[in-house]
Structure 1
Amino acid sequence: MKNRSGEKIKLASIDELLGVVNEESAMEIEISKIHPFKNHPFKVLDDEKMQDLVESVKINGVLTPVLLRMDENEEYEMVSGHRRMHAAQLAGLTTIPAIVRELSDDDAVIAMVDANIQREELLPSEKAFAYKMKMDAMRRTAGRPTKENPRQNVGNYETADLIGKDNGESGRQVQRYIRLTELIPELLDLVDKKKLQFTVAIDISYIDKDVQEWIYEYISDTGFIKPKQIATLRTQLNDGPINQIQMLSIFNNCVMAKKVSRSITFSEKKLTKYFPNDYTTKDMEQVIESLLEKWMQEQSC
């Protein structure tokens, strides 16, 4: 179309007139053609919330499109929407509304984590691996040289601060979660089940994996582990390697033996044998205490 001066003008699309510019449109994609994101850290559980989601899908369908990308094999890879797709499958659907976006590996990781990290009731292990994946991706992305800055670099502290800022946590807390990825799976599972304190788990994460196996065996046998035991173990490990017997000795020495409660009761019949009838209870206590004091002095000589 031309204006009165004969100049060509661009017609606004309906979306632009409505204020929706470059809006991505969803398409129906066959679920069978979608495969999960590699190393997806978020668990899809068949719990009560999933059942509620399945019922919603049966009634209303999938209201929010999932996000996909094409991988190197020209196949669809799920970026975000694993729970929605699982619910759709349980509801009997064969297709799902999806937005297909061109994303690099690192951009896909960041998008996947950002879409899931705000979910309620995330397990510590889910946060741990999600934060680690995002940190690694952000560092690789920031570290790529550009014309303006051919030698870019970003440290873990700066990246952790950025991740924490996006998720309402300190950079320090983000790094503490990432430390959990250094635990053996059995110990990390105890953290998820709240059978191993978060702070104690962080301390254990600095210990070699073979010793972690021994720690897990100890917890399985005793049902507990105390912060003092791990702190003492780490101090000992700084001096050199130890074996499992030595570790058990360290743990046993750290556990304070409970004092046995002792009480002695004398019957009135026994007491009247040694005291006159006019002695009160207080009189008898004073005599007994005096005699015990004399006995203790004799024992120390």
Structure 2
Amino acid sequence: MNELMNVNDLLGLGEDDKSSQQRLDVNIADLQPFHNHPFKLYKGKRLEDMIESIKEHGVIIPLIVRPVENGKFEILSGHNRANAGKLAGLTKLPILVKEGLTEEEAMLIVTETNLIQRAFSELAHSEKARILSERHKAIKSQGKRTDLISEIEIITSGKNSRELTSCQFGEKIKSDKEIGSDYDLSARNVARYLRIDILIDELKEKIDSNEIPFNAGVDLSFLDEGEQIIINEILNTNKYKISLKKSNFLKKLSQNKKLNKDMVYKILSGEYFKRAESKSKVKFTNKFTNNIVNRYVTEEVDIKELEDIITSLLDDYFSK
């Protein structure tokens, strides 16, 4: 009970507010991941280090969860700790239950705790996009959700056990000031990330794996969902690459309501540009050149002089 009181004291909650959260231990089997979790779990050495830390110290900071149906809990913060704890052989984990959250508040906890536990620079493009998007929503709405950001930082920081928890997170925990600071991104880049966040998940994954250039992904975000699905299907069945030239054409045709599956295929395959290039090339026919030579080339006027005369006349004509 003292532990619960300490958490509430940290958060500045009164007696009436304590019912909104409680600290307890639950079976790992009763935990389920967030239904729309946008972040990738740790792998390799980072996961191994967390497993070893948990074997030695246990899970120091409780997972933040919310109750769902059938007596289960949905994880908002702690997906990596849950995964590493299970691999370390634990059967129970400490949790902090948050009740009465809106869907937006739940997502804000998911994104903010990931940002606290990892450096922004190490996140994948889709993860950065989700964090910036949720921050953007919170700033626009102000009030309760910006207060929630501060609350999340206090819960997650583990100020009384910083050295142990930083080992488990695999990254130095950011201070409140750093969390609220700028991400070293220009307003234009923030806007680009907000565009990336509205792409379908399959295209986000292709951006994260560098199959699609980041700025090409920004162009594709202006296409509707159906058009994005078509692009993903064609990319999955062919080895086409998306360049900025291709993405820009896709964007323009979509905005002009002229984009369909056949056109998408022609653009992604490059066929569209080959046709355009062939149409733009001007070729002189044999008849034209032979007629000019036979008519005007004489002993007094050779081909070089004739070319100079034609060029001069054309320059004079088009200058008018």
Please report the TM-score for the alignment, with normalisation by the length of structure 2: 0.57
Over the matched positions of the two proteins, sequence identity in percent amounts to 29
Change (3 A) 1:102 1:235: closer
| Distance in structure 2 (CA, Å) of the matches to 1:132 and 1:248 | 31
Shift of 1:223: 3.9
What is the one-letter code of the residue matched to 2:109?
Answer: A
Divergent runs of 4+, >6 A? 294-301
Whether the 8 Å CA contact 1:109–1:134 is kept in 2: the answer is no
| Distance in structure 1 (CA, Å) of the matches to 2:33 and 2:263 | 45
Change (3 A) 1:218 1:69: closer
The partner residue of 2:108 within 97, 107, 110 is: 110
List alignment gaps of at least 5 residues for structure 1: 1-12, 145-163, 258-293
Q: Does 1:187 align with 2:199?
A: no
What is the one-letter code of the residue matched to 2:246?
Answer: Q
Partner residue of 1:288? Answer: none
Whether the 8 Å CA contact 2:192–2:218 is kept in 1: the answer is yes
| Distance in structure 1 (CA, Å) of the matches to 2:235 and 2:7 | 60
| Distance in structure 2 (CA, Å) of the matches to 1:111 and 1:84 | 16
Q: Does 1:59 align with 2:59?
A: no
Partner residue of 1:129? Answer: 130
Superposition pairs of residues 49-198 of structure 1, within 5 angstroms = 49-71=46-68, 75-105=72-102, 106-118=104-116, 119-120=118-119, 121-133=122-134, 135=136, 168=183, 169-170=185-186, 172-198=188-214
Larger Rg: 1
Give the match's secondary structure for 1:77. Answer: strand
Whether the 8 Å CA contact 2:30–2:71 is kept in 1: the answer is no
Q: Does 1:206 align with 2:222?
A: yes
Give the match's secondary structure for 1:97. Answer: strand
Looking at secondary structure, tell me which structure has more helix per residue.
2
Change (3 A) 1:44 1:174: same
List alignment gaps of at least 5 residues for structure 2: 12-21, 146-178, 278-301, 311-320
The partner residue of 1:234 within 243, 251, 256 is: 251
| Distance in structure 2 (CA, Å) of the matches to 1:51 and 1:245 | 48
Shift of 1:60: 2.0
What is the one-letter code of the residue matched to 2:199?
Answer: L
Change (3 A) 1:60 1:215: same
Whether the 8 Å CA contact 2:34–2:74 is kept in 1: the answer is yes
Q: Does 1:22 align with 2:18?
A: no
